[in-house]
Structure 1
């Protein structure tokens, strides 16, 4: 996870294709080469020709005429389509087939309420998919279901989804992309092409509801997709080709699609505006959406649809320059908000003059996309650092039981914020120590500082620097159980620290304390550690620091960190769920194992307003939804907290219970003697969810107070946070920790205006620590809260952290 900050950030690669709804010529090797000479990376082709369409239109009407003549549908079979004839398909096995996006017939109706129409459509569809797979096509785009047929539409989506699931088995290596609008659009339902089969449905099956429920909702397209991928069990070969209109929907809808496996961003010609030079451009909202998608680990392809034919195909003598891919900034200037997309009367009167001044660009839409490619905003530091780790599930570390590798330590040490904040906390603590005239535990008047779990020594270096910055001398100890890291610490002490550090190989819980010259054991004034995991306590920081607290000066000793809290928020994470399903085939414990993951393509189900915007953002376009400047702020709630040092009475009772020594003690609630039961926790959280969605799990974060100070003039509260609500304020650009993800074995669907209730336990049996969690959904009906669903009780005990 090396950071690219040291060098120039590589320009993102846009793979741009060209699609024509009614391509005038078949795609041959020459056509594909011409498109590439113009700057396109790929082309689309329909699988079947108009000849097949004509045959079907002869077949179906004659069948319906026979039924209208009085013959019962039970007496005659549904027509069967013969195999493809050469004239009925554009495809043939050749060298370019793998470089094309194959489109199934847009005029079929897999979701038709008429069983005859849907049957014929499925026959055509299956033949197209099977033949395309035979020819070697790797990507097939399928038009999504009709969303504007009221109740018939909603009932037909399950039928459509079953057809897709069946098609996935016809081509085991084919990727199927469902072509859907980002929101339902009446024009979309009318663009299936002339001769669509939908009007052939018999009147008794063309049913609309009359209660007003046929009106579309902005999440209906997503609902359709959710039904399809759920029935297809989150198949990794199923994704979305998302069509973008000229006017984008609200940001929460954009974020919902951002969490889905969108493989194609389809930009129809009508999505573009015209700038003052009458060149096609995209709004700021479209630019932000594209930029956001292009920061994904798997970037979607861009498909320009119906933006004009490939230049030069109809005129072989036309000289078409190879596209350079870039525009000058003034020609690619963004469209003004609210400005007309058409020339003014004065501009129209001088249209010929304006045209003459324009550079003749045969592919202006493509040139604009290439301009956007070159001028993508830089990625945030954490994304550059975590390149390749987006939405990648990793097992949490267990540094208490495992000896970490050097490369793991190295990754942590690259954090530009964490150790600087630690040094600030240590410096302030040393200054306060002197200001308050606290007694020290050393015999020479120095403050005794111990770094427990020192690793390769970054905190040791920072403690020495803090001593120099504050002018307060320290007696420094570095405690590390890893025998390999112990070697590195000794080398640092010889070569970098001038032997000012006492390096000790020991488990921090077994260390007796500083050994003095007279053979006595001293105490520590400041105990420093970096034992926090992605959920704060999941790498057993409470247990480790409890075990080391006996070396801390009980009167004035402090711990850095002083406290930490764990936080949760429910999320939709379909990509993570699909990954967990795939891994569960080899390891059945995966669906109940918390994973550390750099969350990226996720959607927060419960939000609380939007993030604060800078002055420059506020002055920019405010009428166009923008994923960057209007990003939703998740509702992240606190689960529990830990404070160090813990009260001496709690520690004393813990020691008494160890070995069954507590009077009247009946053992621990979850096993063992109960010595670690004071570190068990429970919380119940409620999250309001305005928009419907699917909960795939819980995102976990933490906040920690390294040093809080105590009222001195130079007091400064030093904090770290991975909580997206507070991270920018407390520790912006910190990269040491990714969030933790608590999955659900079975996703939980929630309707609009519902509530999710999360119950979470931190459990322990004195040998290990694990988590258990339940998610429940509720909705208010007539003033009464009704439970809609509940997940299983998940438990990570089998993969818990050993003490």
Structure 2
């Protein structure tokens, strides 16, 4: 058990409606954005509009002020004595915006002609004033969403970021969205019709242009690098997000995945991103449709902004119930050379996409609302789970079916070993509300092999339910012996003569998101004394833990915003605890060599493994250490009786593309049973093997090991991850550390290292 969805419990198989908020943007908007214009936009199906904060009059006034200052510098014998120019507060003629209730449906646009990243201090000074005046006025008018164009030059990104950080303090509810291209430059030249301040930078502050560099291809990750610098300086503020422009030609999949992992709040679709179909209507290419679907499946999908696709139609346009009518057969037969009659075809097409989104995978439907939601792992040994928590796991369409198959195979193998007619003793340890007991009885019925079934459960509340099921369930029908006990204290099967007998099959579902994080090894060690020494079978027989480095700014930002100790924790630091989480908005940093069929297969390493039953010699040695008859010396915090369940590993991951590591994503695989005939029943949450071994299984979300300080990776970096499973005989915890290297001239150079993270204070109690 690993997913605590307390408070939900209800699983709705019906697909929730796809939510898509669509806005309209014009880079050179001619009409003032009034309540009447907004009403017209909403009548045809738009949800919002963008609005420039200031008018062309304001731009002219700023340029005039700048020119006056330049003239004063030229006329003065002591230019250093000339004070920097000041932009006076806004005048009514400088802006069309006023405080209105409808402003909640507007996205304000700062002036695209300023250059916050200018190397010329005069231009930067003027730009900062314009920017601050506009943002402050938008906040005053009650417009909380403000879109600002990204830095003009990569060289000035730090300066740009510093200004944005200050602007976030201009309003407590202010949301800044930085407009960035996926790579290269924006599709639309926003300064085509006017003077951009970047053009006025004085020559002595601008570096000479390298002709070769000017003609070279833009840096593929340049735009992402700029964003990373901006959000890092702004300390991953949750009020700073991305307005991502989607180009006509999408970049490679690795860069698409990187942007998908970032906090994209606005998806900007320019007119140039659309193709024309045979009838002349705008459509998105298949790759664009798939990319849009990825964003729409996020827990909080971004708003879609249609840019320069045509003006808002006038009031006399034929509108029926807020939507344009479907085209007539004659209109539908329009040739590619004819102009479509629909004045908002791009909007209509997106609404069609909204209504025809493909179905979500079962795990996404099951976890709706829990994507990227951090939860502390369960501690079923120390906590008595609530019924609703058990209920959530019982909805899994795969896990219990696979358990039944494993039990059936084990029964058939034992029948060969023990002979016909010999009842087989099966104990479900940690029975919960009894789903595995039901599956054991079903496997017995289907194979025709008689079983003697025990249900062992320490939770006194679940024990009540187990007894009631045994009395009322038609399948159970009093055939199950219900035992209230910690499995480690249970003496085992009692024979007809009253003597303690051995169990033939032990069945448990003690695995957590990282396999062993809910102490399955310790529990199964403790109950192994009841298992038959020669032919006893454990289900599961073995399990392995796996991990890979990931970028997830969403989870890192969430952790930053939490108090140092959270109600979701017991004691200790929030960075020292692995979290159960349905990873959704993230990116794999290390991928295997790509193929056309699967171009983004992550490199997931196996950390360690456990198998059951373990060697009796190991348990005997542990018993001696616990009894004090064997002293290994130097063991801190205990006698070392659980040392055989400690583990460690060290692996190197090749990271082809630059990025930021925020932590590790953890998974597991388990062999429930491998029969003598070669049949094998397995479960997996590993993204590489889950599809093959247990497709559509929903019982476990991955686990996330965070980094307190994210690590930057250059292109072709190597990431070395060391991890330990530690124990002091009273509890179990994890420790992890990451190092980053690059190879220069054939030599390995260390670039950075995280601190050692340890969950010891929040360890799982034995």
TMscore range, shorter length: over 0.9
Which residue, out of 374, 380, 396, partners 1:393? 374
Q: After superposition, what is the alpha-carbon deviation per residue over 1:480-517, rounded to whole angstroms, capped at 9, x for unaligned?
A: 00000000110111111111110000000000111223
Partner of 2:243, secondary structure, is strand
Would you say 1:608 and 2:595 are equivalent positions? Answer: no
Partner of 1:155, secondary structure, is helix
TM (norm. structure 2) is 0.95
Aligned mates of 1:331, 1:226 — CA distance in 2: 51
Contact preservation (8 Å) 2:112, 2:190? no
Partner of 1:530, secondary structure, is coil
Which residue is 2:688 aligned to?
725
Would you say 1:570 and 2:549 are equivalent positions? Answer: yes
Which residue, out of 464, 467, 482, partners 1:503? 482
Which residue is 1:734 aligned to?
697
Contact preservation (8 Å) 1:5, 1:381? no
Aligned mates of 2:548, 2:208 — CA distance in 1: 39
Which residue is 1:60 aligned to?
66
How far residue 457 of structure 1 moved from its aligned partner, in angstroms, is 0.3
Gaps of 5+ in 2: 567-571
Aligned mates of 1:208, 1:294 — CA distance in 2: 44
How far residue 421 of structure 1 moved from its aligned partner, in angstroms, is 0.2
Which residue is 2:610 aligned to?
642
How far residue 590 of structure 1 moved from its aligned partner, in angstroms, is 1.0
Aligned mates of 2:286, 2:303 — CA distance in 1: 19
Aligned mates of 1:328, 1:253 — CA distance in 2: 38
Aligned mates of 2:79, 2:484 — CA distance in 1: 85
Please report the RMSD computed on the Cα atoms of aligned residues, expressed in angstroms. 2.2
Which residue, out of 777, 787, 793, partners 2:740? 777
How far residue 7 of structure 1 moved from its aligned partner, in angstroms, is 4.8
Which residue is 2:418 aligned to?
438
Partner of 1:124, secondary structure, is helix
Which residue, out of 706, 710, 714, partners 1:747? 710
Aligned mates of 1:272, 1:189 — CA distance in 2: 17
Would you say 1:297 and 2:274 are equivalent positions? Answer: no
How far residue 190 of structure 1 moved from its aligned partner, in angstroms, is 6.4
Which residue is 1:164 aligned to?
164
How far residue 14 of structure 1 moved from its aligned partner, in angstroms, is 1.0
How far residue 206 of structure 1 moved from its aligned partner, in angstroms, is 1.7
Contact preservation (8 Å) 1:142, 1:178? yes
Would you say 1:527 and 2:506 are equivalent positions? Answer: yes
Contact preservation (8 Å) 1:559, 1:645? yes
Would you say 1:453 and 2:455 are equivalent positions? Answer: no
Contact preservation (8 Å) 1:419, 1:459? yes
Which residue is 1:593 aligned to?
577
How far residue 24 of structure 1 moved from its aligned partner, in angstroms, is 1.6
Which residue, out of 617, 633, 652, partners 1:686? 652
Which residue is 2:458 aligned to?
481
Structure 1 residues 207 and 237: CA distance shift in structure 2, 3 A: same
Q: After superposition, what is the alpha-carbon deviation per residue over 1:594-647, rounded to whole angstroms, capped at 9, x for unaligned?
A: 00000000000001145774xxxxxxxxxxxxxxxx651110000000000001
Which residue is 1:559 aligned to?
538
Query: Superposition pairs for residues 340-419 of structure 1, below 5 Å?
Result: 351=337, 354-355=338-339, 360-419=341-400
Would you say 1:94 and 2:105 are equivalent positions? Answer: no
Aligned mates of 1:695, 1:212 — CA distance in 2: 33
Contact preservation (8 Å) 1:536, 1:565? yes
Which residue is 1:338 aligned to?
none
Contact preservation (8 Å) 1:479, 1:506? yes
Partner of 2:164, secondary structure, is helix
Aligned mates of 1:612, 1:332 — CA distance in 2: 40
Which residue is 1:80 aligned to?
86
Which residue, out of 47, 51, 69, partners 1:45? 51
Aligned mates of 2:445, 2:641 — CA distance in 1: 41
Aligned mates of 1:328, 1:611 — CA distance in 2: 43
TM (norm. structure 1) is 0.90
Would you say 1:134 and 2:148 are equivalent positions? Answer: no
Aligned mates of 2:277, 2:575 — CA distance in 1: 51
Contact preservation (8 Å) 2:669, 2:686? yes
Aligned mates of 2:329, 2:366 — CA distance in 1: 33
Aligned mates of 1:557, 1:133 — CA distance in 2: 70
Which residue is 2:246 aligned to?
244
Which residue is 1:517 aligned to?
496
Aligned mates of 2:759, 2:753 — CA distance in 1: 18
Aligned mates of 2:647, 2:603 — CA distance in 1: 21
Which residue is 1:198 aligned to?
198
Would you say 1:706 and 2:706 are equivalent positions? Answer: no
Contact preservation (8 Å) 1:568, 1:636? yes
Number of residue pairs aligned between Structure 1 and Structure 2? 750
Contact preservation (8 Å) 2:718, 2:741? yes
Contact preservation (8 Å) 2:9, 2:388? no
Partner of 2:488, secondary structure, is coil
How far residue 51 of structure 1 moved from its aligned partner, in angstroms, is 1.1
Which residue, out of 14, 32, 36, partners 1:26? 32
Contact preservation (8 Å) 1:581, 1:591? no
Aligned mates of 1:660, 1:688 — CA distance in 2: 46
Structure 1 residues 399 and 329: CA distance shift in structure 2, 3 A: farther
Structure 1 residues 439 and 450: CA distance shift in structure 2, 3 A: farther
Which residue, out of 230, 233, 236, partners 1:234? 236
Contact preservation (8 Å) 1:3, 1:386? no
Structure 1 residues 328 and 753: CA distance shift in structure 2, 3 A: farther
Aligned mates of 2:690, 2:494 — CA distance in 1: 40
Aligned mates of 1:19, 1:62 — CA distance in 2: 34
How far residue 67 of structure 1 moved from its aligned partner, in angstroms, is 2.7
How far residue 75 of structure 1 moved from its aligned partner, in angstroms, is 1.4
Which residue, out of 706, 731, 746, partners 1:768? 731
Aligned mates of 1:331, 1:535 — CA distance in 2: 61
How far residue 797 of structure 1 moved from its aligned partner, in angstroms, is 0.6
Aligned mates of 1:191, 1:651 — CA distance in 2: 75
Which residue is 1:623 aligned to?
none
Query: Superposition pairs for residues 577-588 of structure 1, below 5 Å?
Result: 577-587=556-566
Would you say 1:654 and 2:622 are equivalent positions? Answer: yes
Partner of 2:549, secondary structure, is strand
Aligned mates of 1:654, 1:439 — CA distance in 2: 35
Contact preservation (8 Å) 2:310, 2:343? no
Aligned mates of 2:693, 2:454 — CA distance in 1: 29
Contact preservation (8 Å) 1:451, 1:477? yes
Which deviates the most, 60-69 or 111-120?
60-69
Partner of 1:324, secondary structure, is coil
Which residue is 2:446 aligned to?
469
Partner of 1:74, secondary structure, is helix
Contact preservation (8 Å) 1:327, 1:368? no
How far residue 236 of structure 1 moved from its aligned partner, in angstroms, is 0.7
